[in-house]
């Protein structure tokens, strides 16, 4: 075991997430960052693998590989330029935005991936608001520049209009979208010319071309880029404004062909802040060199189908984590042994001996640990809880095989603790027919698939007429239960939720009986009419 200084080690960490709208290329970019970081050997995977090509490292779940989308977030760690990069891949689909929200609580920055043809899309906007709420600085990667799309100036206008961010391009494309020659590096004025590789599976060769030669060789494409850059003469990168969340450094490229990926990875090292002291529930900072502490931002079961395992992902906030140390589980006050601690790389894992602020540790078989729990050594600390999103879809779950009732109950509990769905129980039915509450319909599909494939519990989901939920209390519950079109169920964390069939009825009730407790939940969308 080393005697490394936690403060010095924290300075070497870069912990960030990638956010985007579905199909913007987030998982592909993740894979290519791993390639350039030397974490994949010689060849990158593909989101929709064909023939002998393997699937993306981050999309390890069977359903992800079938659908070609990211369903669960993934933790990937690799060294690069004497730094330790903790890359947290997140689901892009809005139905899994709650999982993304939890992951962002463990990050120090985000990379926003945009489709060059579409600019800012709805899910990107929603995730950006979460980043803004958390004060996370954002780097922007404009992807798919090898295909026809918007002009770079149009994309800048879109970002500034919809997000209120000042764009400070670090690179600028040479050649229109679909005819990508390379990028101008604004820091030195030279052209970085790229060479395509077969299927983008290996690093793209880069040629540094001085401006004078580029002007001759690229002709009108170079001239057009230089003229556009002259319009941006005041939009220079400012580190302080970036860290304050006022500006976003921009990079143009194509993750599929590996164009511009290395430049982005270098920017992560140069610009993303290293871990800073975390604020606890009292509003006090936990110093980096304080005794070990961390919080759990994700729980994932059955990553290894051959073992019924359960991994709690913990972000280290202070001190040095040492495998085998006995820490205190803040919520229960009980000791917690960390004998089985892993670093996780997609579905692969290996035993980890130590970790430092910014690192993510996978605690194996942490059966008592839940999302949002704090762990600490010697000096107590409680980090702020991670809020649950407002559910918008509700379904009653029943097993279709009563002989598998035990497996059904086990599976429901597991999915609840992971945050795959929220589980609500009616006092009259208990565990026989829990109500699953979700942000999006796809969560039901994932829950059903996992109950049947991992727990052997065939399940029937019956949609309900509930359309909106509010947090309530014991005093208001009897009145609400007596009303038609309203039900009061208890979430597994003890919270009482009032479910309404009609948004209009809810609005009327709030006006006529203001004494009732009806609190909005986090990230609630517009009430659906």
Looking at residue 247, its pLDDT comes to 96
The answer to whether 234 and 220 have CB atoms below 8 angstroms apart is no
Return residue ranges of the chain for CATH 3.30.70.3280. Answer: 393-512
- Which CATH superfamily groups domain 393-512? Peptide chain release factor 3, domain III (3.30.70.3280)
Rounded Cα gap, residues 331 and 327, in angstroms: 12
Phi (first) and psi of residue 327, to 5 degrees:
-115, 175
Rounded Cα gap, residues 217 and 221, in angstroms: 9
The answer to whether 358 and 86 have CB atoms below 8 angstroms apart is yes
The answer to whether 506 and 468 have CB atoms below 8 angstroms apart is yes
Instruction: Give every CB contact of residue 65 below 8 A, 6+ residues apart in sequence.
Output: 49, 55, 59
In CATH terms, the fold of domain 7-271 is Rossmann fold (3.40.50)
What is the crossing angle of helices 122-134 and 152-163, to 10°?
Answer: 60
Instruction: Give every CB contact of residue 329 below 8 A, 6+ residues apart in sequence.
Output: 335, 336, 368, 369, 373, 375
Pairing of strands 459-463, 468-472: unpaired
Phi (first) and psi of residue 496, to 5 degrees:
-90, 130
Rounded Cα gap, residues 89 and 100, in angstroms: 9
Return residue ranges of the chain for CATH 3.40.50.300. Answer: 7-271, 286-376
| HSE-CB for 268 with a 13 A CA cutoff | 34
Looking at residue 513, its pLDDT comes to 92
Please give the DSSP secondary-structure letter assigned to residue 194: E
Please give the DSSP secondary-structure letter assigned to residue 103: H
Instruction: Give every CB contact of residue 66 below 8 A, 6+ residues apart in sequence.
Output: none
Please give the DSSP secondary-structure letter assigned to residue 259: B
The answer to whether 251 and 271 have CB atoms below 8 angstroms apart is no
Query: C-alpha angle 45/46/48, rounded to 5°?
Result: 145
Rounded Cα gap, residues 11 and 275, in angstroms: 7
Please give the DSSP secondary-structure letter assigned to residue 498: E
Looking at residue 345, its pLDDT comes to 62
Taking only the tens of pLDDT, the chain with its 529 residues reads 567 899 999 999 999 999 888 888 888 898 888 888 887 654 444 443 444 334 454 443 454 444 433 334 467 888 999 999 999 876 644 545 677 778 888 999 999 999 999 999 887 887 888 788 888 999 999 999 989 999 999 999 999 999 999 999 999 999 887 788 899 999 999 999 988 776 667 787 889 999 999 999 999 999 999 999 998 887 889 999 999 999 999 999 999 998 999 999 999 999 999 999 999 999 999 999 999 999 999 887 655 555 556 788 899 999 999 999 999 999 999 999 998 887 766 556 678 889 999 999 988 877 788 888 999 999 999 999 887 777 889 999 999 999 999 999 999 988 887 777 889 998 777 778 999 998 878 778 888 988 998 889 999 999 999 999 999 999 999 999 999 999 999 998 888 999 999 999 899 999 999 999 998 876 554 333 3
Looking at residue 198, its pLDDT comes to 67
Whats the size of the chain, residue-wise? 529
Rounded Cα gap, residues 377 and 362, in angstroms: 17
Q: Where are the beta strands (DSSP E) in 90-158?
A: 109-115, 138-143
The answer to whether 273 and 11 have CB atoms below 8 angstroms apart is no
Other Cβ atoms within 10 Å of 375 Cβ, number: 28
Rounded Cα gap, residues 272 and 110, in angstroms: 9
In CATH terms, the fold of domain 286-376 is Rossmann fold (3.40.50)
Task: Express each pLDDT in 370-399 by its tens digit.
Answer: 888 999 999 999 999 887 777 889 999 999
Looking at residue 1, its pLDDT comes to 55
pTM for the model: 0.78
Please give the DSSP secondary-structure letter assigned to residue 254: B
Pairing of strands 166-169, 247-252: parallel
């Amino acid at each position: 075991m080393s005697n490394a200084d936690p403060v010095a080690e924290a300075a070497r960490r870069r912990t960030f997430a990638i956010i985007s709208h579905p199909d913007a290329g987030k998982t592909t970019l993740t894979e290519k960052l791993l390639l350039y970081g030397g974490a994949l050997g010689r060849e990158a995977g593909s989101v929709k693998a064909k023939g002998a090509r393997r699937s993306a490292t981050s999309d390890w779940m069977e359903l992800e590989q079938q659908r070609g989308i990211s369903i669960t977030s993934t933790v990937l760690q690799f060294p690069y330029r004497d730094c330790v990069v903790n890359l947290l891949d997140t689901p892009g689909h809005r139905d899994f935005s709650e999982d993304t929200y939890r992951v962002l609580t463990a990050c120090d920055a985000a990379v926003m991936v945009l489709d060059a043809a579409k600019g800012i899309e709805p899910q990107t906007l929603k995730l950006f608001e979460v980043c803004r709420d958390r004060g996370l600085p954002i780097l922007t990667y404009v992807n798919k520049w090898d295909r026809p799309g918007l002009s770079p100036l149009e994309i800048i206008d879109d970002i500034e209009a919809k997000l209120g961010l000042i764009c400070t391009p670090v690179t600028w494309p040479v050649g229109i979208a679909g005819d990508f020659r390379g990028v101008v590096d604004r820091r030195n004025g030279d052209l970085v010319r790229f060479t395509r590789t077969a299927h983008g599976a290996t690093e793209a060769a880069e040629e540094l071309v001085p401006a004078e030669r580029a002007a001759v060789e690229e002709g009108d494409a170079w001239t057009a880029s230089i003229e556009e850059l002259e319009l941006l003469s005041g939009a220079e990168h400012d580190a302080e404004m970036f860290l304050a969340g006022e500006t976003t450094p921009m990079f143009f490229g194509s993750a599929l062909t590996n164009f511009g990926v290395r430049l982005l990875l270098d920017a992560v090292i140069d610009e993303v802040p290293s871990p800073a002291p975390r604020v606890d529930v009292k509003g006090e900072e936990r110093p980096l060199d304080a005794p070990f502490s961390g919080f759990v931002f994700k729980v994932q079961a059955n990553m290894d189908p051959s073992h019924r395992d359960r991994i709690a992902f913990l972000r280290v906030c202070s001190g040095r984590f040492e495998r085998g140390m006995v820490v205190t589980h803040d919520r229960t006050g009980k000791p917690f042994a960390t004998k089985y601690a892993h670093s996780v790389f997609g579905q692969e894992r290996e035993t980890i001996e130590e970790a430092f602020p910014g690192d993510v540790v996978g605690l194996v078989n942490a059966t008592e640990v839940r999302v949002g729990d704090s762990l600490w050594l010697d000096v107590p600390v409680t980090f702020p809880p991670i809020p649950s999103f407002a559910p918008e879809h509700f379904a009653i779950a029943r097993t279709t095989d009563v002989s598998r009732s035990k497996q059904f109950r086990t599976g429901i509990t597991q999915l609840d603790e992971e945050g795959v769905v929220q589980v609500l129980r009616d006092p009259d039915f208990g565990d026989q027919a829990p109500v699953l509450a979700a942000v999006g319909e796809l969560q039901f599909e994932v829950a059903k698939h996992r109950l049947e494939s991992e727990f052997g519990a065939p399940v029937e989901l019956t949609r309900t007429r509930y359309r909106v939920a509010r947090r309530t209390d014991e005093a208001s519950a009897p009145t609400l239960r007596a009303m038609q079109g309203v039900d009061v169920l208890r979430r597994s964390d003890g919270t009482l939720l009032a479910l309404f069939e009609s948004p209009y009825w809810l609005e009327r009730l709030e006006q006529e009986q203001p004494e009732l407790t009806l609190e909005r939940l986090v990230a609630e969308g517009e009430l659906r009419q």
